Amino acid sequence: FQSFVDTSSRYFNASWGGMHWEKQIRASATPRRRGGVSVLVTGAAGFVGTHVSLTLRKRGDGVVGLDNFNSYYDPSLKKARKALLTSHGVFVVEGDINDARLLAKLFDVVPFTHVMHLAAQAGVRYAIENPASYVHSNIAGLVTLLEACKSADPQPAIVWASSSSVYGLNEKAPFSEADRTDRPASLYAATKKAGEEITHTYNHIYGLSITGLRFFTVYGPWGRPDMAYFSFTRNILQGKPITVYRGKNHVDLARDFTYIDDIVKGCVASLDTAQKSTGSGGRKRGPAQYRIFNLGNTSPVTVPALVGILERHLKVKAKRHVVEMPGNGDVPFTHANISSARTELGYNPTTNLEAGLKKFVKWYLSYYGYNPRSGGGATKASKSL
Stretch of 10-18, 213-221, 270-278, 360-368 lying at the interface with ligand UGB (CB under 6 A): 213-221
Task: Report the SS3 class of residue 15.
Answer: coil
Q: What residue type is assigned to position 171 of the chain?
A: E
Residue 378 CA to residue 381 CA, distance in Å, equals 7
Answer for which of 243, 275, 374, 379 binds ligand UGB (CB under 6 A) is 243
The interface mask with ligand UGB, positions 281-310, x = CB under 6 A, is ----------------------x-------
Answer for which of 53, 68, 144, 217 binds ligand UGB (CB under 6 A) is 217
- Within positions 96 to 115, which residues make up the interface with ligand UGB, using CB under 6 A? none
Of 167, 188, 259, 368, which residue is the catalytic one?
Answer: 188
Minimum CB distance to ligand UGB, residue 79 (Å): 21
Residue 187 binding ligand UGB, by CB under 6 A: no
Q: Contact, 54 vs 89, CB < 8 A? A: no
Answer for which of 39, 84, 143, 228 binds ligand UGB (CB under 6 A) is 228
Q: How many residues bind ligand UGB (CB under 6 A)?
A: 18
Name the E strands within 314-373: 319-324
Tell me how crowded residue 74 is: count the other CB atoms within 10 A of its CB.
Answer: 15
Residue 138 binding ligand UGB, by CB under 6 A: no
Stretch of 143-151, 211-219, 282-290, 363-371 lying at the interface with ligand UGB (CB under 6 A): 211-219
Residue 291 CA to residue 36 CA, distance in Å, equals 22
Task: Report the SS3 class of residue 186.
Answer: coil
Residue 215 binding ligand UGB, by CB under 6 A: yes
Sign of the alpha-carbon dihedral angle for 36, 37, 41, 46: negative
Residue 265 CA to residue 217 CA, distance in Å, equals 16
Residue 202 annotated in active site: no
Residue 29 binding ligand UGB, by CB under 6 A: no
Q: Contact, 157 vs 290, CB < 8 A? A: no
Answer for which of 7, 165, 211, 351 binds ligand UGB (CB under 6 A) is 165
Residue 252 binding ligand UGB, by CB under 6 A: no
In 135-178, which ranges are continuous DSSP H helix?
142-151
Phi/psi-derived region of residue 110, left when phi > 0, alpha when psi is between -120 and 50, beta in every other case = beta
Query: Which residues have a Cβ under 8 Å from the Cβ of 325 and sit 6 or more positions away?
Result: 245, 246, 247, 248, 253, 332
Q: Nearer to ligand UGB by C-beta: 74 or 147?
A: 74
Answer for which of 163, 209, 297, 337 binds ligand UGB (CB under 6 A) is 163
Question: Would you give the DSSP letter of residue 318?
Answer: -
Answer for which of 123, 168, 195, 207 binds ligand UGB (CB under 6 A) is 123
Minimum CB distance to ligand UGB, residue 304 (Å): 9
Stretch of 84-92, 105-113, 209-217, 271-279 lying at the interface with ligand UGB (CB under 6 A): 209-217
Residue 227 binding ligand UGB, by CB under 6 A: yes
- Within positions 255 to 274, which residues make up the interface with ligand UGB, using CB under 6 A? 255
Residue 46 binding ligand UGB, by CB under 6 A: no
Minimum CB distance to ligand UGB, residue 45 (Å): 16
- Which element (helix H / strand E) includes 293? strand 290-295
Burial class (CB in 10 A: 0-12, 13-18, 19+), 14: middle
Residue 244 binding ligand UGB, by CB under 6 A: yes
Residue 216 binding ligand UGB, by CB under 6 A: yes
Task: Report the SS3 class of residue 167.
Answer: helix
Minimum CB distance to ligand UGB, residue 216 (Å): 5
Q: Contact, 280 vs 154, CB < 8 A? A: yes
Q: What is the DSSP string of 211-224?
A: EEEEE-SEE-TT--
Minimum CB distance to ligand UGB, residue 51 (Å): 15
Q: Contact, 199 vs 166, CB < 8 A? A: no
Query: Which residues have a Cβ under 8 Å from the Cβ of 13 and sit 6 or more positions away?
Result: none
Binding residues for ligand UGB (CB under 6 A): 122-124, 163-165, 215-217, 227-228, 243-245, 253, 255, 303, 330
Residues marked active site are found at 188
